[in-house]
Every structure is written in C-alpha cells, then in structure tokens.
Chain A
C-alpha cells in the first residue's frame, strides 16, 4: 500500500493523510494507491502540509506500518527519547520501529 506523509507547515510535526485531513498518527493513514499526485499538489497548495510525499507501507492489525525504518522513526519519534515519542507509555513502541 501507499500512504502519504509530510510535515505540518507551522509546527513541523510529522503528519499522515487520512483521506480527508492530516493526522499525527500513522494508524490513521489510508492507502492512496497510485493516484496521489493530485492530493499532494492540492494539499501542499492549501498549506495543509509541507513537502508531502508518498511512501510504501504494509497493513498490519495495528494499522499501516511504513516499509522503511526512517519513516517508522518519523511516525513514532526518536527511539532514544521514548518520553518524546507519540507513545511514551508503551514499552514496546521501540520494537515497532526496529
């Protein structure tokens, strides 16, 4: 599957395309197939997102999991600062990245 990601223009936060909006949580991302160029252009032009792009991901029981470790680090936060990730209370969150 392909999902879309970028950064929020104002805050820089990593965001994911939900089909109608942008979420900070990769679990909310939807498969956009191969027809994503129009979405990217429209959303960036509207300043809803900064430098968006499409990545490969696989669907798991917990939602989409980016194919590349770099995007998984983006999705969670720095593995060396669990307190700053989106799942600070989840001791297994780091394993999801690796």
Chain B
C-alpha cells in the first residue's frame, strides 16, 4: 500500500489546520454560511437531512487495518456508532457536529486519510477494481496508476473549479468490476506488443442523463497516461458548459461536440503537452510502484479446502474469488444481511474487519462500489477460521452478486436531494428473497436502487434498477430492466408506469418468475432479458 511521504502528510496536516480556523470563524460569526459552504464542501462536509454529513476519501477503495480501525473510532466517538460505505468506495458519517469536524480530520490525518475532494466540482476519489493486485485476470496492478492519478489530481490548481464534478476509474482486466465505462474518464490498462498502456473511455456517467463512455484512444503508453488524462480534462475545462449545471458534465460535452471532434481536440492538446514534457518522471512512477509489491505470499500454500460445513461451503461458493497466487483467495464480506441497510457497518464490525485484515489478509482491505468489503489476500487454509469469525458478527451473508446484494443510496432517510426512500425497499426485497436457495436459483442479479435521478444507487446500471420519484408528495418507484455496469455495459430502460413500495416488490417478483420460466441453459437474468426483450417483461408486469 502507498504510504505518505513528508509532502503528502504536510499537505493534509496543513489542510486540517486551515479548516479548523475556518470552522472557528464560522462559529464566531466571521463567515456567513454562503461563505463557509464551499469551504466545508472542499473538506467533504455536507449539510444533510438530519445533521452534517462527512464523506471520507478511501483512495481506490484501499485501506489498511489501522485506517479501518480509525473509521470505527470516528463512528464511535463522533457519530452514532456506525458508518455507511458508499458506491464511490468511500465512507460517510451521518451525524457529525460542526465543532467536531476539525478533530475528526486531524484523527484521519494521523492515519494518512482525509476528506479532501469528496465534494465539489473537482476530480473526486479515484476508483478502481476492488480485486486490484490480487485478481487472477489482471494484466497489471491498477493501484499504482490510481495512486499517480490521485497525486496528480489532488489540489491540481487547474482542475479545482471544473464545470462539474469529475470521476475517474482505472481497471486492468477485461472483466470490469468498477463500472469503468460509467465514469467521466474510464481507463483500462492493456498490453500492446508487450508494452503497458491504457485505453481511454471518456464521457460516461449516470445521473439524469446516463451515457456509456465511448472509447477515444485504444492505446496510450503508460508513461504518457497522466498527460493524456490532463489533455482530456483541459478540453473539458475549456469548453464544458458552466451555464447549466444539468449540462455541465463531460458526457454532455462529448455528446454535443461528437466523439470525433472531442477526440481531435484532445489529441491536439496531447501533442502540445508532449512538447512541454509534462509526463511524471520515471523515478516517481517507480517510487510509487514500489509500494504495491505483492505481500509475502507463502509459495507452497495449499489449495485444499475442507468444505464439509454446508454453510461455509455456500459462502466459499458465493463470496470467494480466484486469486492470482495459488493457495490464496479473495474474500468478500457482504454488508447486505437480510433486513439490513446496504453498506452500513457498526463500529464493532468495522473494528473486527480491521482485526481480520491484519490477521488474515496482509493488513489490507478494500471497499467495493457495491458497498461491500474485500479481504484481498486470504490463505485458503485460513478461510474457515475467517468465516467463523465473520459469521459470529453477522458479516457472512453468502450473497455476493445475488439479488439481495443490492446497491442502495441513502435515499430520503438521509439525503436532502432524495425524492423517495431507497433503504426500506432494499430491506423488504431482501426479506422477500431471503431464502438463499431461491437467490442462488436466480443466480447473478444486480439490483440497484436510487432515491432520485442523481443515481447514486446506480439504478441505470442494474440488471433490475429502481428509481424513487416524488409523485404529488408521495413516494413512487419506477422499475428499470437491462442495465449493466460490467464489461457488457448497458443502460437500463424504464418498464412503464411506477408503483408504490409493495407494488414494485411484487413487480420484481413477476420479473424474476418470468426469467426462471424463459431462461435457457446457463443464462443469467441479464442474458435472458437481452434475448427475450422488454416487451415480454412489460406484458408480465402490466398485462
């Protein structure tokens, strides 16, 4: 894992001191809310429905046990004993007091963390594959590149006031586990003639105008990756619309200019930048990469597993993914128990996950955009002991990628932008489909719920998506089908008129029943939907 150097630490410490002063001035009445709001947002502090909300950055979802334990400490000391892991691989606290915020940021800084650029029209937390550095199918570790992008984008003076917020994802395998093409810039590391480089996809996103990012460059040499990203940003910063917040994202610019013209301008800018020689020095790339060497795997670790415990067997079958190192496995800790709140974890659970990472996973954890936690490097011979401890703490639902492993935004229970509640729907669906045998019969089924059109719950990318809307003051839910955030990226379509809460759950059951009736061989839900088409599903739902 990357470790701060003196410059990183100094930047973060200085920001804490600066914000402490700003808070004191606000509390003393020297700053109005209009003056203070942009300052607090630069430090991830929002004012939400019930209180201040603090969003803490977890760069590319990676953290160690000490950092995770600090997140538990903050939940316990400053909040109401829990945190909420988000679809941007971050964590949010819902009950923060303004006067505590500087102390919280100081606590975070003590473990090399912060909340900078988790809000505002800047480059947000870089996201990545939660299995990075462990996946059997990656061609390189994307984390050094995510870290370089993090350092480049942190406090970048040219990109601190973009037309709108900006999200970047980096992956390094053909299987997309990071919703890469639904980002402002999606970067896929690839090999060409043995040389490492990157494919660039620009102009994707969800929100009120969902778009899949088109590929604008099939290969950028790795050492020019930052310059190419900078060229993409420069064209956007120059021509992105600032007159209309709803048309200010880069996807609108790419769409309005056309992919070809946008790409031409980026290439022109890139050629100019190459002349200036702005690529990061090779030594710096090497220095950062050094932090992401493999941990000390045992060379002859056994691949044998005793699966005689049927519950453990189910968990292994569902939540364990192949590791690149023989004898090791990637374990996903599901934060989606039946009736639970997707992404929420108590301070005790956070502490336990920190302990387990130190004990079983070379002191590493990952937060996934699906609001789960990953232990990336677990020796297979340790899996049973790990599972027993997780199970005792309610952290062993064997439902990864099943219908109850839903994404849900905080919705109207917490968010001031929301129009409808998301979490109660996720809870009731998890209860309706609680039977694990039934879930497994349905197989991979990505259910994603948003409480408003901003799409924090990724409803556009759900095999089944739900969008909460306000219909004359009451909550109403639109059902969408056919989305995917994976390498077969697609946008879900609305089935028809919306439903009340019970109605949309019934409709989901109708849809899954039709899938079971129509599916062929090993088809997943999304495969059957694509083959059969929307009409059959609409007919089943609405008659």
Listed in ascending order, the chain A residues whose CB lies under 8 Å from chain B are 7, 9-14, 44, 47, 50-51, 67-70, 73-74, 77-81, 84
Please state if B33 and A51 are interface contacts (CB–CB under 8 Å). Answer: yes
Q: Which residues of A contact B29 (CB under 8 A)?
A: 47
Report the tally of A-B residue pairs with Cβ distances under 8 A: 67
Q: Which residues of B contact A67 (CB under 8 A)?
A: 473
Please state if B99 and A70 are interface contacts (CB–CB under 8 Å). Answer: no
What is the chain B residue whose CB lies nearest that of A77? Answer: B50
A10-B27, A79-B413, A80-B341 known; A70 and B49 CB under 8 Å?
yes
Please name 26 pairs of A and B residues whose Cβ atoms are closer than 8 Å in the assembled complex, sorted by A: A7-B47, A9-B26, A9-B27, A10-B97, A12-B51, A12-B98, A14-B50, A44-B33, A47-B27, A50-B33, A68-B473, A70-B418, A73-B412, A73-B413, A73-B421, A74-B50, A77-B50, A78-B50, A78-B94, A78-B414, A80-B341, A80-B423, A80-B424, A80-B427, A81-B341, A81-B413
Contact with A along B326-350 (1 / 0, CB 8 A): 0000000000000001000000000
Distance in angstroms between the alpha carbons of A70 and B326 in the assembled complex: 52
Question: Shortest Cβ distance from A87 into chain B, in angstroms?
Answer: 14
Please state if A12 and B473 are interface contacts (CB–CB under 8 Å). Answer: no
Interface of B is mostly: mixed
Interface of A is mostly: loop
Pick the residue among A12, A47, A68, A79 that contacts B424 (CB under 8 A).
Answer: A79
Closest 4 CB pairs of A and B: A12-B51, A78-B413, A12-B52, A80-B423
Q: Which residues of A contact B475 (CB under 8 A)?
A: 69
Pick the residue among A10, A12, A69 that contacts B47 (CB under 8 A).
Answer: A12
Question: Shortest Cβ distance from A79 into chain B, in angstroms?
Answer: 6
Beyond the given pairs A11-B97, A67-B473, A84-B95, 4 more chain A to chain B contacts, judged by CB atoms under 8 angstroms and listed by A's residue number, are A7-B47, A12-B52, A68-B473, A78-B414
Among A12, A13, A14, A68, the most chain B Cβ lie within 10 Å of the Cβ of A12
Distance in angstroms between the alpha carbons of A66 and B99 in the assembled complex: 29
Q: Which residues of A contact B50 (CB under 8 A)?
A: 12-14, 74, 77-78
A12-B52, A70-B49 known; A84 and B33 CB under 8 Å?
no
Q: Which residues of B contact A78 (CB under 8 A)?
A: 50, 94, 413-414
Distance in angstroms between the alpha carbons of A79 and B411 in the assembled complex: 11
Distance in angstroms between the alpha carbons of A68 and B96 in the assembled complex: 25
Distance in angstroms between the alpha carbons of A84 and B47 in the assembled complex: 18
- At the interface, yes or no: B438 with Cβ under 8 Å from chain A? no
Pick the residue among A14, A68, A80 that contacts B413 (CB under 8 A).
Answer: A80
Q: Which residues of B contact A44 (CB under 8 A)?
A: 33
A74-B49, A80-B427 known; A11 and B98 CB under 8 Å?
yes
Please state if B421 and A12 are interface contacts (CB–CB under 8 Å). Answer: no
Chain B residues bordering chain A, tally (CB within 8 A): 29
What is the chain A residue whose CB lies nearest that of B420? Answer: A69
Pick the residue among B51, B99, B412, B423 that contacts A7 (CB under 8 A).
Answer: B51
Q: Which residues of B contact A11 (CB under 8 A)?
A: 51, 97-99
Question: Shortest Cβ distance from B471 into chain A, in angstroms?
Answer: 11
Please state if A69 and B27 are interface contacts (CB–CB under 8 Å). Answer: no
Distance in angstroms between the alpha carbons of A12 and B100 in the assembled complex: 11
Which positions 193-209 of chain B face chain A at CB distance < 8 Å?
Answer: none
Question: Shortest Cβ distance from A96 into chain B, in angstroms?
Answer: 15
Q: Which residues of B contact A13 (CB under 8 A)?
A: 50-51
Contact with A along B17-48 (1 / 0, CB 8 A): 00000000011010001000000000000010
Q: Which residues of A contact B98 (CB under 8 A)?
A: 9-12
Please state if A12 and B27 are interface contacts (CB–CB under 8 Å). Answer: no
Q: Which residues of A contact B80 (CB under 8 A)?
A: 84
Distance in angstroms between the alpha carbons of A46 and B332 in the assembled complex: 50
Q: Which residues of B contact A73 (CB under 8 A)?
A: 49, 412-413, 421
Distance in angstroms between the alpha carbons of A7 and B418 in the assembled complex: 18
Distance in angstroms between the alpha carbons of A80 and B75 in the assembled complex: 18
Question: Shortest Cβ distance from A28 into chain B, in angstroms?
Answer: 18
Which positions 489-538 of chain B face chain A at CB distance < 8 Å?
Answer: none
- At the interface, yes or no: B308 with Cβ under 8 Å from chain A? no
Q: Which residues of B contact A74 (CB under 8 A)?
A: 49-50
What is the chain A residue whose CB lies nearest that of B26? Answer: A9
- At the interface, yes or no: B474 with Cβ under 8 Å from chain A? yes
Please state if B412 and A70 are interface contacts (CB–CB under 8 Å). Answer: yes
Q: Which residues of B contact A70 (CB under 8 A)?
A: 49, 412, 416, 418
Q: Which residues of B contact A7 (CB under 8 A)?
A: 47, 51
Which positions 410-460 of chain B face chain A at CB distance < 8 Å?
Answer: 412-414, 416, 418, 421, 423-424, 427
Q: Which residues of B contact A80 (CB under 8 A)?
A: 341, 413, 421, 423-424, 427
Question: Shortest Cβ distance from B372 into chain A, in angstroms?
Answer: 19
Question: Shortest Cβ distance from B518 into chain A, in angstroms?
Answer: 34
Q: Which residues of A contact B427 (CB under 8 A)?
A: 80
Distance in angstroms between the alpha carbons of A78 and B412 in the assembled complex: 8
Distance in angstroms between the alpha carbons of A94 and B94 in the assembled complex: 19
Q: Which residues of B contact A69 (CB under 8 A)?
A: 412, 473-475
Q: Which residues of A contact B474 (CB under 8 A)?
A: 69
Q: Which residues of A contact B414 (CB under 8 A)?
A: 78
Among A14, A47, A67, the most chain B Cβ lie within 10 Å of the Cβ of A47
Question: Shortest Cβ distance from B343 into chain A, in angstroms?
Answer: 12
Pick the residue among B33, B96, B412, B418 that contacts A12 (CB under 8 A).
Answer: B96
Q: Which residues of A contact B412 (CB under 8 A)?
A: 69-70, 73
Q: Which residues of A contact B26 (CB under 8 A)?
A: 9
Distance in angstroms between the alpha carbons of A7 and B412 in the assembled complex: 17
